[in-house]
Structure 1
Amino acid sequence: MPLENRNRSNTILVTGAAGFIGFHVSKALLNLGYTVIGIDNLNDYYDVNLKLARLEELGIDKTQALQDLNETSSSTFGSRMIFVKMNLEDRESLPKLFENFAVDRVCNLAAQAGVRYSLENPEAYADSNLTGFLNILECCRNFKVTKLVYASSSSIYGNSDNVPFEETANVDHPVSLYAATKKANELMAHAYTHLYGFESIGLRFFTVYGPWGRPDMAMFLFTEAIVNEKPLKVFNNGDLSRDFTYIDDIVAGVLATLLHTSKNASPYKLYNIGNSKPVQLLEYIEAIESALNKKAIRQMLPMQPGDVKQTYADVSALQNDYNYQPKTEVREGIAAFVAWYKSFYMI
């Protein structure tokens, strides 16, 4: 569809649209009547079939999902969900996408995820999280995007003992490359906001879980191990706590910052987005056991390199500026994930 015929203010680019959070945000935007331009490189960091299944839920079949920008049919320009397979670090294709579609706002959720994987494949983090993010910033600058909301991470707080974590805390001591790239993203966004005037909001996500979740995260790994009667790896002998945050609460916070103006508007903002109720790891496992009605085989292990002992979000800033209020208790969220898992894998 020609740019002049598309409602720019109604068109939002979501990167990582086939990912866990990106899928849920895209679905929510479509339900609200927005046009979503989704991109994802569909890499094999985890099961690509799960990513394709998410896209199918958004109305994108496998053939469409595997098309790059040059193969995107002109007929798709009339759709409210348009998907293009693309790497963020592609310096030629990303600007062309911004040329082809009149994007008003960008929700950047694409990144090479995972703390432990950054120890094995650091180059992937430089490509996606640094070069890719720079390309997003350049496109926001050159194509007059009004607002960029992007994913940061609770991991940037490192092993801080000052809880709950506040946005004003010193985050100069990351303990993983993944965390370092997220810190870099915040600094890069600050520079571009200062220089070029568009609004940027960084969201520090705290341990997101729920239906359609990532297979490399605790909720999925624990459920899979219990279902298949395999040893469940419990790091630091279970002496860990996490601010587990249900996906619906995360989406509510993302949409609030993306679609609305804060009562304390500022060109550059950072917010924690979590449940603000840390849960001990062993308690979390017990809740999964209860939902599955099956006991875990626990393999107690030492702390993993790059991991942190606790996370705990102070969400008062997001509550104050955007009326954010997480609503989902952990046992309720775990039950919803387990129900989805059983249905998706036909257990």
Structure 2
Amino acid sequence: MRGGRRLLKQRHNLIIANKTYEQWRSEWEAARWFLTADGESGKRYGNETIRVTPDGEVSLKLPGPLADLANARHGRYILTARVTFSHRGEEWRDRIEANRAVAYRIHLNTTSGRWYLDASWTRKDLPVVPLDALRAGGVVGVDTNADHLAAWLLDEHGNPTGAPRRFDYDMSGSATHRDAQLRHALTRLIHWAESTGVEAIAIEDLDITGSKTREKHGRKKRFRRLISGIPTGKLRARLLSMCAEAGLGVIAVDPAYTSLWGAEHWQKPLTTARRPASRHQAASVAIGRRALGLRIRRRTAPPRQHQSDAGGHRTAQARPEGREREGNRPRVPGPRTRSVGAKRGRNAVDQPIQDRSGWAQCQIDLHGHF
């Protein structure tokens, strides 16, 4: 019903609501005193019923029974007051001058005693930016959770830079409260991403519709409630629209094993004595690397100086698109410090199994000689 359940309950609890009957009645009637009209592209200034000119003049198209109340031509009624849009006013002006659809809603605010006109529209045909252009300056990897967003800035080489960020929200309460919490968290995320200078935000392409059923998780009620609390659909829709307004791109990646591999390969290296890295922060790094087209696995550490070839060639990994990257290492020209023995190849994969007993006997003989 118009006015909502909140006003309906306040009618029977006026003392608790700290309102008189007259105050409650004014709010109840104000909830029904509104006028709304959807716009249509091609019409003058984007709306035929409620028309707002660039200089703020508001006129209404009256229905047939009220046509005698018109004060302008073609059965229109022009309001004496003019409107101004302080938020995104230039974008609204550009839209109505191009005769693109704009929806208006006129309503009364009983607290301030003023009438307001809200304008809204839907953006379509968003520009498609090449993926290489979005990756040029790095990305912000974001891991979505039931109560917060974990984010980390990655450069174009996939290295996490700076400190991780956490944006909390509370998804309990009414739908209006949940939506406001989500918008506030995304606003802080976008403002921080703009300050870093990146061109895109990387998120997981989550779809948990079939992952919260009892058939899949059985009696794990708390776990199913946790999954249901993750706002995947609303977050994706909100983030796309808000990033479009901010001029940022959104890269959706495959969510498979991002939390598992992020914790395995990145949580321990990113943990310091003063700043322990969480599993969710490590997952944000994995998401960012996958958005950059890199492998989640870190480069393996070189061997110690007293082992093998003491140089660290193992840190140089081949790119995923490199051919025969699993094959032998190419032969490096130049003098050798060690000769190739009999029945042994130049590469480790070509060498047969060594008989360690022979080496041990040689050492015993040498010690006996000395």
* TM-score tier after normalising by the smaller chain length: under 0.3
The TM-score with structure 1 as length reference comes to: 0.25
Larger radius of gyration: 2
The TM-score with structure 2 as length reference comes to: 0.24
Quick check: which one's helix share is greater?
1
Task: Say which structure, 1 or 2, has more relative contact order (CA 8 Å, 6+ apart).
Answer: 1
